[in-house]
Amino acid sequence: MVFGVREFELALMHRMRDLNAERVEQALDGMGATRAELRAAHTHWTRMTYAMKGATALRRALGPPAHRGRAPVGSLTCDVLRWVLPSWPGLQFEALLGPGRELWNQWFVRPGGAAPLTLPELVPWTCVVADVGASFPGAVQYEGPAPHQWTIDFDHDGTTHRARFVYGLYQRLDHRPVSPPL
């Protein structure tokens, strides 16, 4: 199996199915892809990431990044690589590399920074962690319950909401969480 942009998108969608299966099914239909392809892409990607260090697997699958830069993270300066993916226009997939070139984080970002949103503008697959965090004062971020998942709890008009993300990409909104995620 050749592993390129399409297969990488399918591998990301495999994890997104945990929180938004309906949206993934719509995307599969739009791509003319099957669930078997989705599973095969996930399996192939998992093998690649265990066999390759740093961002090597990302570069092999996606080619050269559309953006290369450096960013301060605490007292360190990290390399930032970003790729454009067809299934998520207006967003980029970002890899953050630590000083030893190890892959510290990978997720979707909005180039140019967070976009202000209202609650009705929280549409799955159109916004990222930074958008939600910046749009709702007092928002609290948590690691999610599974790899590559994030959670943001926030209050809006007297209701507590929990925004759920996979690879930093918004998937769904839950209401009235009972307690903070573990």
Q: Contact at 8 Å (CB) between 19 and 167? A: no
Rg (CA), the chain: 17
Q: What is the distance, to the nearest Å, from the Cα of residue 83 to the centroid of all Cα atoms in its chain?
A: 12
- Parallel/antiparallel/unpaired status of strands 67-73 and 92-97: unpaired
Please report which residue ranges of 32-163 form alpha helices under DSSP H. 35-51, 56-62, 129-135
Q: Is the pLDDT of residue 67 over 60?
A: yes
**Beta strand 159-166 with 149-156: parallel, antiparallel or unpaired?**
antiparallel
- Of 138, 145, 129, the closest CA to residue 181 belongs to 145
Instruction: Identify which of 102, 99, 137, 131 has the alpha carbon closest to the alpha carbon of residue 117.
Output: 131
Domain limits, the chain: 1-51, 58-111, 119-175
* Percent residues over pLDDT 70 in the chain: 96
By the 8 A CB rule, do 178 and 118 touch? no
Closest to 122 measured CA to CA, from 182, 52, 170, 77: 170
Q: What is the pLDDT of residue 53?
A: 84
Which range among 43-47, 85-89, 94-98, 100-104 shows the weakest confidence by mean pLDDT?
100-104
Q: How far is Cα 37 from Cα 39, in angstroms, rounded to an integer?
A: 5
State pLDDT tens for residues 126-172.
999 999 999 999 999 998 888 899 999 999 998 999 999 999 999 99
Q: Which CATH architecture has domain 58-111?
A: 2-Layer Sandwich (3.30)
d(CA 25, CA 11): 13
Q: Is the pLDDT of residue 13 over 90?
A: yes
The Cα 3–Cα 11 span in angstroms is 10
Q: What DSSP string describes 147-179?
A: TTEEEEEEEETTEEEEEEEETTEEEEEEE--SS
Least confident stretch, 3-7, 26-30, 41-45, 140-144:
140-144
Q: What is the pLDDT of residue 1?
A: 62
